[in-house]
């Protein structure tokens, strides 16, 4: 709506992959297959960690919650992307954009924190095995999961509120595949420097702190494993955390290459797609291929 030559933005246009008009059908098929595989793979992990008696341990309790988180995380972006490719409308309301941005950040932070919780679980299991049942009891496990989900909510809701309180009075085309702070700040009128700094500080805090906790846990785990007298004992101890270590490496490896201003717009979109789907897609595969308990549970489930 226009008044006094000032245009107030009430909706945004997500350009996505509109610069590839001949590949819209192909991209829809690819993203649809990716989304279905994420739902099926992580859904199976949730089911077996709930119903299989041999997987009723803290490690698999956290894995089931992480799989549910992965489904939620990708469901914030992929269904909307599929709808845009199918209908070619690409418009998203101001409120929907704000909800998508906030949800993406809250779930991303929860993912970082839950990875740190899973690393702590492995630390207790390997470094303090006699105290493991006492420390990682059911009540503590539930509390750790709840804290991982909600601890970042107040800060991230406030950050999202501050971004969408800016004046958007010019173009409304977001050259991105979903609503995110960097492209939104580019469209905002006036000085956005303070908002940019605030967003970067919050992002660094919620990414680096869990990473340092994971790093500390694994340093202590490696020291403990190297002190074990037998080679078989070392291999067995390391095998219990190898899958988690691969997922952590994959997640933080992609985060390290998150979009920078020097990257081309097309490369930025590809990176954004990677860090919202790759971990979610490979998480079930990593845990099923490298974990005998999970393989056995899946076989029993398919046999039934």
- What's the rounded Cα separation, in Å, for the pair 29 and 23? 10
Comparing 99-113, 152-166, 178-192, which segment has the lowest mean pLDDT? 178-192
Q: What is the pLDDT of residue 251?
A: 81
Q: Which residue has the higher pLDDT, 172 or 75?
A: 75
Q: Percent of the chain scored above 70 by pLDDT?
A: 92
pLDDT at 101: 93
Note if the pTM is more than 0.85. Answer: yes
| CB-based burial label for 252 (10 Å; 0-12, 13-18, 19+) | middle
Highest mean pLDDT among 35-44, 48-57, 235-244: 35-44
Task: Give the pLDDT band of residue 156 (cuts 50, 70, 90).
Answer: very high
pLDDT given at position 1:
41
Give the residue-averaged pLDDT of 14-21.
Answer: 84
Mean pLDDT of the 163-190 span: 85
Residue 190 has pLDDT above 60, yes or no: yes
Decide if domain 11-303 falls under CATH 1.20.1070.10. Answer: yes
* Of residues 190 and 265, more confidently modeled: 190
How does residue 259 score in pLDDT terms, banded at 50, 70 and 90?
Answer: low
pLDDT band at 289 (very low <50, low <70, confident <90, very high): low
The pLDDT-based confidence of 167 (bands split at 50, 70, 90) is confident
Give yes or no for residue 206 having a pLDDT over 50.
yes
74 or 191, which is more confident? 74
């Amino acid at each position: 709506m226009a008044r006094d030559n000032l245009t107030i933005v009430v909706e945004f246009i997500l350009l996505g992959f509109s610069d590839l008009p001949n590949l819209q059908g192909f991209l829809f098929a690819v993203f649809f297959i990716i989304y279905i595989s994420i739902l099926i793979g992580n859904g199976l992990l949730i089911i077996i960690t709930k119903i299989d008696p041999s997987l009723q341990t803290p490690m698999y309790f956290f894995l089931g919650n992480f799989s549910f988180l992965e489904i939620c995380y990708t469901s914030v972006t992929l269904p909307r992307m599929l709808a845009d490719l199918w209908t070619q409308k690409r418009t998203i309301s101001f409120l929907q954009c704000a909800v998508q941005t906030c949800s993406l950040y809250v779930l991303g932070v929860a993912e970082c924190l839950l990875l740190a919780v899973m690393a702590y679980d492995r630390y207790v299991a390997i470094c303090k095995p006699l105290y493991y049942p006492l420390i990682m009891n059911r009540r503590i496990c539930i509390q750790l999961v709840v804290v991982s989900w909600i601890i970042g909510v107040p800060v991230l809701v406030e950050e999202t509120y501050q971004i969408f309180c800016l004046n958007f009075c010019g173009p409304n085309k977001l050259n991105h595949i979903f609503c995110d702070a960097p492209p939104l700040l580019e469209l905002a009128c006036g000085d956005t420097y303070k908002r940019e700094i605030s967003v970067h500080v919050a992002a660094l805090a919620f990414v680096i702190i869990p990473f340092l906790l994971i790093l500390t846990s694994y340093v202590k785990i490696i020291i403990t494993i190297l002190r074990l007298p037998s080679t078989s004992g070392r291999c067995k101890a390391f095998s219990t955390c190898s899958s988690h270590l691969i997922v952590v490496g994959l997640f933080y490896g992609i985060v390290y290459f998150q979009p920078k201003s020097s990257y081309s717009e097309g490369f930025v979109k590809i990176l954004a797609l990677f860090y919202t789907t790759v971990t979610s897609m490979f998480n079930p595969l990593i845990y099923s291929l490298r974990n005998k308990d999970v393989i056995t549970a899946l076989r029993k489930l398919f046999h039934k």
